[in-house]
Structure 1
Amino acid sequence: MTETTQRRAGRPRKAVLDRDRIGQAALELVDQTGDFTLPELARRLGVQPASLYHHVQGRAGVVELLRERVSDAMDRATLAEEGPWDEALSGFFHSYRDAFAAHPRVVPLLTTATIRSPRVIESYDQMLRRLDEAGIPTRQAMSILTALENFVIGSALDLAAPDVMWEIPADMEAPALAAALAAQPSERKRADEVFEQGLSRLLASLAAEFGA
């Protein structure tokens, strides 16, 4: 057997590195540390940093992979289903919230980077089509969609927050806050109730304002 034949026989059938592996490793790194560098990501994958550039365009490319990983956990099919626009958006935004709540540390990376992923852009196009069904003028559509997203992302961070968010010092009196904290339900139930109330009121206000 020649040396060439031996090398060919020993070659892996599947590529050691691909976009899925890079995206998953980057998401795990961000979940643990809150950020990533290309050298850190390469070490985690067991490759040289230069190898990453065969699959992504530097750091910005990895951020888009992170966006796609989170977006893939959302139920985009609800946006394409027939039925009332508000039910479609409500169903999608529930999955949107859950996806970001599972990876809260990725939020700063995604909200400060330009969106370029085709499948993520497709989701925005679908959301705007449903808002068009609500009678929202094109000139107002992006600002309204941004407001809805801000609420949903904030709700995701609220869901991922510590169980104890307010701790009144022993030498301080804050009776109104203390009473409100005592009256609220458990943390997960509280976060869910706040989200449900907020989202339903936002969608209802759109329907009332634009007459859909």
Structure 2
Amino acid sequence: MGRPHKPLLDRERITATALELVDERGDFSVPQIARRLGVQTGSVYHHVDGRDGIVELLRERVAEAIDVTALDARPWDAALEAWARSYRAAFAAHPRAIPLLMTNPVRAPRVLEQYERAVTLLGEAGFPAPAVMPALVALENVVLGSALDLAAPEAMWEVADAAATPRLVEALEAAGDHRADRAFDLALEGFLVHLRERLTAYTGA
């Protein structure tokens, strides 16, 4: 029997399978990956550093869709806005991965490099070091919360008795389509306005 053209198992296939499981179920296990690939569980461990290693491969896979070159733009607030929108789109494609990735420490080198660039952007703009990470984490809260919102039903409020909540019904009817996108625009705009004000306070400019 001739040798297969592709190996039965490699990091690429492990990552793709793990992401499929996360998209379907919100989590994965190494035995589940092995079963889906038709190999022994021990074979998976020959290619990855356990579950934590797979989580970091997933992080890198999802983050590949983020346009890191946006952080090269200037002024700083335009760069941050473009990066945030790309970041949201990348995670909105895999919303079930968000709880998994956001509750595990970031170790993936390519992802850390994105943070390095974001930190550099804010530092060069004039933000003092103690203010940089709170700003980035706050931005992530906006981005990832909105990415989850994109995966939610358009009608998140089901009102059985309109007479009991008439103002809510009126507000829902007035909201129209694309609620999640407009809510993200509002939150991101407010966040950037606040950062600009903070920067002015820091620099006096």
Aligned CA-pair RMSD: 1.6
Give 1:33 deviation, angstroms: 1.1
Name the structure 1 match of 2:30: 38
**SS in structure 1 at match of 2:56:** helix
1:210 aligns with 2:199: yes
Tell me the equivalent position of 2:189.
200
Which deviates more, 14-23 or 50-59? 14-23
In structure 1, what residue type is equivalent to 2:118?
M
Deviations 1:31-53 (Å, cap 9, x if unpaired)? 11111111111111121111111
Identity of aligned residues (%): 53
Per the TM alignment, residue 13 of structure 1 is displaced from its structure 2 partner at its CA by 4.5
Preserved contact between residue 162 and residue 169 of structure 2 (Cα < 8 Å): no
* 1:110-158 deviation per Cα after TM superposition (whole angstroms, max 9, x unaligned): 1111111000000011111111133211012111111110111001011
SS at match of 1:210: helix
Q: Residue 70 in 1 paired to residue 70 in 2?
A: no
Measured at CA, do residues 82 and 94 of structure 1 come closer, stay the same or move farther in structure 2, by a change above 3 Å?
A: closer
Code of the residue aligned with 1:192 in structure 2: it is D
Computing the radius of gyration from Cα coordinates, the structure with the larger value is: 1
Determine the C-alpha separation between the residues in 2 that align with 1:92 and 1:119: 15
Question: Do the aligned residues in 1 keep the contact of 2:89 with 2:147 (CA within 8 Å)?
Answer: yes
Cα distance in structure 2, aligned partners of 1:127 and 1:164: 35
Scaled by the length of structure 2, the TM-score of the pair is 0.92
Deviation beyond 3 Å, 4+ runs, structure 1: none
SS in 1 for 2:154: coil
Superposed, 1:1-212 pairs within 5 Å as 10-79=2-71, 81-170=72-161, 173-186=164-177, 189-211=178-200
Contact in 2 for aligned 1:134/1:206 (Cα 8 Å): no
> What runs of 5+ residues in structure 2 fail to find an aligned partner?
none
Q: Deviations over 1:84-123 (max 9, x none)?
A: 1111111111111111111111111111111110000000
Residue range with higher mean Cα deviation, 167-176 or 21-30: 167-176
